[in-house]
Amino acid sequence: FADIGDIVRGKDLYRGNNRENDKLENKLKEYFQKIHGGLTSGAQTYYKDDTANYYKLRNDWWDANRQEIWNSIICDVPEDAKYFRESSYHKGGTYEKCRCAIGNVLTNFDYVPQYLR
């Protein structure tokens, strides 16, 4: 989940195959260019200095959509699935179906710098 956020926001440190990364980055630029084109004129003005790589728009898009992405990842998870493994300190793992009791994303790892995860 956190790696997806890094890729979307253009913050992925582990680049790997340059050709594949360039291809992915170009696709993301293409998608966010389309998103930018569909914004209201006020929003386009807000992002006017962000059209080279759309990093600001990409970050805001991630913030707005991370819950839906999490829900998509866990949509078919069994009811007894646990997100974190059990430890000697905490025997329960996580809540049912990898969800907090109020349904929020269980983790904020997507906001922790990649080199610290």
Which tens digits make up the pLDDT trace of 36-91?
999 999 999 999 999 889 999 999 999 999 888 887 877 776 766 665 555 555 55
pLDDT of residue 15: 67
Q: Hey, where are the domains in the chain?
A: 1-73, 76-106
pLDDT of residue 62: 93
pLDDT of residue 67: 85
pLDDT band for position 11 (cuts 50, 70, 90): confident
- Indicate whether 102 pLDDT > 90: no
pLDDT of residue 21: 84
- Indicate whether 22 pLDDT > 80: yes
Which two three-digit tokens encode residue 60?
């805001």
The verdict on pTM exceeding 0.85 is no
Give Cα separations from 113 to 2, 13, 15, 107, 108 (angstroms). Answer: 9, 9, 15, 14, 11
Q: Mean pLDDT over residues 8-15, rounded?
A: 78
Q: Is 47 exposed, middle or buried (0-12, 13-18, 19+ CB in 10 A)?
A: middle
Nearest to 43 by CA among 62, 60, 27, 29: 60
pLDDT of residue 39: 96
* Separation of alpha carbons 111 and 100, rounded Å: 18
Which two three-digit tokens encode residue 32?
């966010």
pLDDT of residue 106: 60
